[in-house]
Structure 1
Amino acid sequence: MTKNILYALISSILLWLAWPPTPYTSPILLFGFLPLLIAIENIFQSNWKNKGRKVFGIAGLCFLTWNTACIYWIWNASPEGSIVAYILGALLMSVAFYLYYKAKTVTKSYVADFLLIGFWIGYEYLHQTWDLNFPWMTLGNGFANVPQLIQWYEYTGVYGGTLWILVSNILLFNIWKAYRSKVHIIKLIFSFTIWIIVPVVYSIYVYNNYEEQKNPSHIIVVQPNVDPYQKYLGSPLQQLDNLIQLSRDSAKFNTEFIIWPETAIPEYLDENKIRDTRIFYTIQQFLSNYPNATLITGAETVRIYQDEATPSAKFDKNSNMYWDSFNTALAIENSGKVQFHHKSKLVPGVEKMPFSSALSFMKPVFAKFGGTTGGYGYQDHPTVLYAKSGIGVAAAICYESIWGNWIAEYIKKEAQFIAIVTNDGWWGNTSGKDQHLDYARLRAIENRRWVARSANTGISAFINQRGDIVQKTEWWNPAVISQEINLNSDLTFYTKHADIIVFPFLAIGIFGLFLVITKSRKTAKE
């Protein structure tokens, strides 16, 4: 058993070495699961008792080690939340491999291999869609810093990368088994070679020949570098003045968008009275010098209702009103027009109470404690923000940018580029900020859109339609960068059919689960 534990740890190290932001190591993912698969096969072929528990144990060791090594930085922002993230992700991954082992006991080996793909993609889709969502470790994200190899993501998105990795590892595993059994393995080697080479050759060809349509727009991205743990030091107007001064350094008469980061305006704004505030008046004065410009900025806003209009609404006894607070992206023109997008992919536990509908009976308990009963409000669909010229922008707020299908919704609504407003300083100078930047490159490829990324204390950047980082700032430095980007109105296959590749494998995973349960029960009765 010691040897199998060692194999599991080798897999965890290989997967960690392959994960962003380490450059050029991502292809390790194509064989990183092989030692773990060998360990599971060794247990399967043994005469030991409690083999299922042993499989779950070594899988858990592998995935807990890998998860913790890759997302250790969550601890800086939330020690309690980080422990949940480490354990929950590892638990779901381990369940997928445990079900794979159980499938090996009730069906043929090649069928179990096929079911493993369904189990794993099922786990990834669950972790993207349920209330405890955290799709950070979706396997396809692992190629984020090698865009030369994944130009085909414009058809498949990151789940195509997951499929590529799983099939590659399974083919290698079967080559290993055939070699040990002294079975003819030429066909398996040929299949593996084709499986690897064809996507790579196609991607390199597309990467080297891709040409953007010429449709320029001048964009400013500002990085104010306000410590997120001290963001309320100084008055909001002082911080606003700092943002304006930085913006003036690069703004031109023809500038069409000025982008400030998440919660750049450190004052709650009543959405119904925003035009009456000193902050709005100051922004209007600034924008008067740039008649074509629209400001995209993060802010925290409040909306007041006569009744409980949303599931997240909270009741204020003093005013006898309901209200929501939002993490918001604002679009402000010098015409006085204001547009709102409310962050919808909220961080579980921090910004949103998981399973709030099922736990709604606990609202009075939370109210007695003086805390929130649901965190931020949210909206069900993204809102495209528009400039006066009609240019549409997908203004994704922080966490939202790691959902490919969510960004694709913006693009289908005529967004011509992607603006990511974020604040990565919560994690400190760790690999978290670099991973978050790299994941933005995936959104550029999937939708063939430029990305303008404004990070308060992280890394701000411009990313072109091939996924190349054209410009970026340094960590923990106030900065402003500008770029002529090319707008795009064409829709990729992925944009039009986001994550369609998932659903056949979900069906396979569900079928596999049904097969395991029914055959295991039948065996137990016998």
Structure 2
Amino acid sequence: MRAALAIIFGLCVPLALAPFHFWPLMFIGVGGFFWLSFQASTTKEAAWFGWLYGVGYFTLGVSWIYGSMQTVDTPVWLSLVLTGGFCLLMALFHLFQMWFFQRFLRALPLALLLVSPLWWVINEWIREWFLTGMPWLLAGYAFTDLAIGQLAAVVGIYGLSLMLALSSAWLLKSLLHWARHRTVRSFSYAGVALGFLALLFLLGIAKPASSWTQELRTLKTAAVQSNVDQRTKWSSAQQTPTLNFYGTSIGAMTDIDLVLWPEAAMTRRPEQIPYFMSQIQNIGEQRDQAIITGVLLLKDGRFYNSMKGYGTASGEYLKQHLVPFGEYVPLEKYLRGLIAFFDLPMSTMYPAPTAQSPIPFTLAEQPYFAAPVICYEAAYPDLVRNLAKDADLITVVSNDAWFGDSLGPHQHLQITQMRAIENGRSVLRATQNGVSALIDANGTIVKRSEQFVEAEVIGELTLRSGLTPFQRLPAATPVYLCILVLAGLWVFARRAASESAIEQ
């Protein structure tokens, strides 16, 4: 029964996020994990429960990996094996989390009400950087479309995860106390949790993310979606139709201030299509129009996934955090050539050799800056924070065509909404086949495209300046505080145990 519940509780987490948005399930998913932590009587049992929880968590949550393999026609059986293997390996994170809790933390004071939530957030952070990182399916994203989500402008995604984990622990304590004692006191724990959430809700209403930054001006923007199939995007036959699409699109946008094209919009490098790019530059200059596009660049014999400005926009941005297997192949000399998935068209990229800066653009001779973010980078709060704090707008380009009709594009959009809230900045997001969107500084989707259609998402966004509290400190600041408190509890418990031993 407990083994089955471990899988079910793990499934609750992705079901609480996009595209399902059953956000109350996040309290069940996180609270269920805490309950299992105390149901385990040995470290071996804790490891088993944690692993099963992770299996449910990742098997549904990152099922889009199967779709990406099918995009390059990997055999179904092999796609299932590789996707399943990846999910089983990712489940080791939760195995470690529950095992470590059982071995070192369970005996600490306030083990359920405080230690468990602190340890949950620390483990989310570990997933951000360990083995290049996989900061996906974080608990705090369940608050994205709720008033509580506005507090990300102060505490970031990890702060929201801590709030949710604390609430889940206190609600669980109420249920456990009622099951054992069935007294009025049992409701006091739930009252604390619900009162805490109500307070956070009111704070989010009173102080939305946009209130931390200042409005500069409103501009008319367009996110262009080409809907080129991933199987044909890189073929020679597709090159001319792609250029014709973007040429026709920009030709009709006479009254747009800022145009954004998706990741690697044109699969030819700028020097390979000089006439086309010079025409784009001339159009932008004549209209006082900024055009930013995803593009491949070749520098010193190395390929970079990049963004580049044309018209009244200038400069370039080289992607800093690459996608394993999608843009580079770990253990390349062993894996390259084994299957088509290890030979993807963009899997020979290099990360930016130095820290990157926002892309400048002008409107009516006034200078502004766009924070450029490419695809997977949107999942890294500190990377976006470092760019956005010196920018007036966030521009995100992506190629979610890899993931087909799966959960991936919807989860990615929700993650991007959270980056808008944290930084108090509007987001212009252009993808190859959806979902392209205009997002305001409170993370609200102003306008969006459908998937698998050609689209031009046109609307107004506001440029903003100033810093949110989140932008003033590292994104992991709540995590560092969790580590300090947890360490303090551990030292206190050790000292108390030593004093007790001496007295005896």
TM-score (normalizing by structure 1)? 0.81
What's the % identity of the aligned pairs? 20
Alignment of 1:3-402 (within 5 A): 3-23=1-21, 25-44=22-41, 51-78=42-69, 79=79, 82-83=83-84, 85-103=86-104, 107-108=107-108, 110-111=110-111, 114-144=114-144, 146-182=145-181, 184-207=185-208, 213=215, 215-233=217-235, 234=237, 236-252=239-255, 255-269=256-270, 274=271, 277-290=274-287, 292-304=288-300, 323-333=301-311, 338-353=314-329, 375-388=349-362, 389-402=366-379
Q: String of CA shifts for 1:243-264, please: whole Å, max 9, x gaps.
A: 1212333331xx3321100000
Counterpart of 2:228, as a letter, is V
- Evaluate the alpha carbon distance shift between residue 517 and residue 13 of structure 1 in structure 2; reply closer, same or farther with a 3 A threshold: farther
Unaligned runs of 5+ in 1: 45-50, 305-322, 520-526
Unaligned runs of 5+ in 2: 70-78, 497-504
Three-state SS of the structure 2 residue aligned to 1:348 is coil
User: Cα RMSD over matched residues?
Assistant: 3.3
Counterpart of 1:324, as a letter, is R
- Evaluate the alpha carbon distance shift between residue 463 and residue 195 of structure 1 in structure 2; reply closer, same or farther with a 3 A threshold: same
Counterpart of 1:386, as a letter, is P
Three-state SS of the structure 1 residue aligned to 2:464 is coil
Whole-angstrom CA distance in 1 between matches of 2:239 and 2:493: 59
User: Which residue of structure 2 aligns with residue 316 of structure 1?
Assistant: none
Counterpart of 1:447, as a letter, is N
Q: CA deviation at 1:508?
A: 4.8
Three-state SS of the structure 2 residue aligned to 1:487 is strand
Whole-angstrom CA distance in 2 between matches of 1:516 and 1:98: 19
Whole-angstrom CA distance in 2 between matches of 1:84 and 1:381: 34
- Evaluate the alpha carbon distance shift between residue 373 and residue 204 of structure 1 in structure 2; reply closer, same or farther with a 3 A threshold: closer
User: Which residue of structure 1 aligns with residue 460 of structure 2?
Assistant: 484
User: Which residue of structure 1 aligns with residue 74 of structure 2?
Assistant: none
- Evaluate the alpha carbon distance shift between residue 123 and residue 85 of structure 1 in structure 2; reply closer, same or farther with a 3 A threshold: farther
Q: String of CA shifts for 1:351-376, please: whole Å, max 9, x gaps.
A: 2355xxxx8xx87x889999899742
Counterpart of 1:117, as a letter, is P
User: Which residue of structure 2 aligns with residue 444 of structure 1?
Assistant: 420
- Evaluate the alpha carbon distance shift between residue 275 and residue 66 of structure 1 in structure 2; reply closer, same or farther with a 3 A threshold: closer
Q: CA deviation at 1:191?
A: 1.9
Range 431-440 or range 234-243, more displaced? 234-243
Do the aligned partners of 2:7 and 2:55 also contact (CA within 8 Å) in 1?
Answer: no
Counterpart of 2:44, as a letter, is R
- Evaluate the alpha carbon distance shift between residue 353 and residue 113 of structure 1 in structure 2; reply closer, same or farther with a 3 A threshold: farther
Three-state SS of the structure 2 residue aligned to 1:281 is helix
Do the aligned partners of 2:393 and 2:463 also contact (CA within 8 Å) in 1?
Answer: yes
Whole-angstrom CA distance in 2 between matches of 1:113 and 1:187: 13
Q: String of CA shifts for 1:334-354, please: whole Å, max 9, x gaps.
A: 6xx841101112112332355
Counterpart of 1:124, as a letter, is E
Three-state SS of the structure 2 residue aligned to 1:26 is coil
- Evaluate the alpha carbon distance shift between residue 275 and residue 70 of structure 1 in structure 2; reply closer, same or farther with a 3 A threshold: closer
Do the aligned partners of 1:223 and 1:480 also contact (CA within 8 Å) in 2?
Answer: yes
Three-state SS of the structure 2 residue aligned to 1:34 is helix
Count residues in correspondence. 473
Whole-angstrom CA distance in 2 between matches of 1:517 and 1:97: 21
Q: CA deviation at 1:113?
A: 5.1
Counterpart of 2:177, as a letter, is A
Whole-angstrom CA distance in 2 between matches of 1:515 and 1:228: 56
Q: CA deviation at 1:112?
A: 6.1
